[in-house]
Structure 1
Amino acid sequence: MNIRDGMCWGEKELSKKGIENPRFDADLLLGEVLKKARDRLYLDWEHDLSFQEEESFRSLIQRRAANVPLQYILKRQEFMGLPFYVDERVLIPRADSEILVEKLLESMELEKEQRAGQKIKVADLCTGSGALAISTAYYFPSAEVVGTDLSFAALEVAEMNAKELEVSVQWRQGDFLKAIANERWDYIITNPPYVSLKDYDDCAPEIFYEPKMAFLGGEDGLNFYRCLVEGVGSILNPQGKVFMEIGWDQGEAVCSLFQKKGFATQVFQDLAGRDRVILAR
């Protein structure tokens, strides 16, 4: 089998299993085995694979055909232009979550000149791989950033990513607001579990390889927002803000929860024009 044959075979095998973008995935998996960039495969596609390389490639295609997420096979995912290590201990960062970080950074930048040298304190709840917290610390290094998660295993991944990207984030294990309850914060950010029980059963099969606790937000998906709105007011500074990722159909419900507690809210859409992030202040 040469590279061209391998690309075609891999695409065919993944297509039979209904994998989206089968050629793209097959190319990346073959590139992983050969340690070649995707464009290099097309330049070298008459190159013959060794027996070991072919066996490794077939094994990776078999895993992907079984709906194992590509990111878990490759052990990486890009977020905010940064490389993150990911495995089955953490949720795979999605591009939609970049909207939250972008809006947070915009707000922090506007406040910077008014802070008179004081650090801006940010807490990221349900940090998982650390994507939100680390991206914030990377692009706004003067901030004091804390990331929390109930899962010790997830925090191991987050700490690994922070070290690799050489950013300073403090990690805390704890149950949601309890991990940050004794301090005051300028910003609280979170991508909490917000999938309802019904919607979870209808998710793409790849989802079931990711940590279930990172998805399920109760019967209607709103449990974590209810918990947040009950306690967040007492730990925010007077001008403090909360940035939350939400499901595309949860904007009205989450805004209502916060407005009833006296918060002003603003909704931001993702690139597809769907509600994705709520700012509450």
Structure 2
Amino acid sequence: MLLDMVVVVTTGLADVSLPFFLDAEMERQSVLPFLRLLRVLRLLKIFQVCQPLRIIGRAVVKAFGVVVLVGLVVGVLNFGLAIILTTLVGQRATPWAVDETEEDIETWFGSIGRSMQTLFTIQTLSGWDHIAAVLSGVYPSTVVVPLIIIYMMLCCFAVIGLITSVISDSFMASQQKEQKNQEVGKALRYENVTRHLEEWFFQYGRSLPGCIGREELEKALSEPQVSSLLLSMERPAKKTEILKLYDRINKEPSFSGRVQAGHMAEAVVTLSSEAKVLRAQ
């Protein structure tokens, strides 16, 4: 809601104010078109509406820091390997002149930047076989191929597995937090309904102070405010079910003729939360 308001107000003020200071040509070259693109951010509202997307979004945001750290580790490793490859291969490309692949070696390993770019290409499993074939023209293939495979296993498969596990753990944590928040919200809502029902039952319980009779309970349940309270529950119980519950409680020796308003309110809320199970039985 706040993001939507900020985007609308910002773009609205820009649409209204900038035409007074800029002509049509300057307006097209100004930041106004880019400000209008901010309206795309309103698509983020879908994360507020859809709970699964909200959970996934929180998990990705929490795991982003770990992903950045993993990327830094891979970058440092690639930088070290780039120095070695540039020194041992790129600056000694003469032996590949026999096969007319010297230019390829210089393109791949001619500098540290090129070597890092080549390592990143190998890391994405793109063209590594051709690079291995060219390097094997001078160095033994029994050394080149295993080293490239080990590099790909460390910097590709291991990194992907690590990032996946981090995102999965973050997703589980976000899901548990979301469920906990829902449970807390439900408990607060039930507590609020219980308190209001107790007030209504206490108000109608005139026969005995703090207690409510069956006829008084029927009158209380007929009140629109009480009905709206029951309908606010996740699975509202019917009036007949509540009266049956009262009769069952009233048969107990400790409550015979003296069903307390607070106890009845708690029982009604409990019945409403379990109404689906009771109906199935």
Q: Please tell me the TM-score bracket, short chain as reference.
A: under 0.3
**Structure with more strand by fraction:** 1
| TM-score (normalizing by structure 2) | 0.23
| TM-score (normalizing by structure 1) | 0.23
**Structure with more helix by fraction:** 2
Bigger Rg, structure 1 or 2: 2
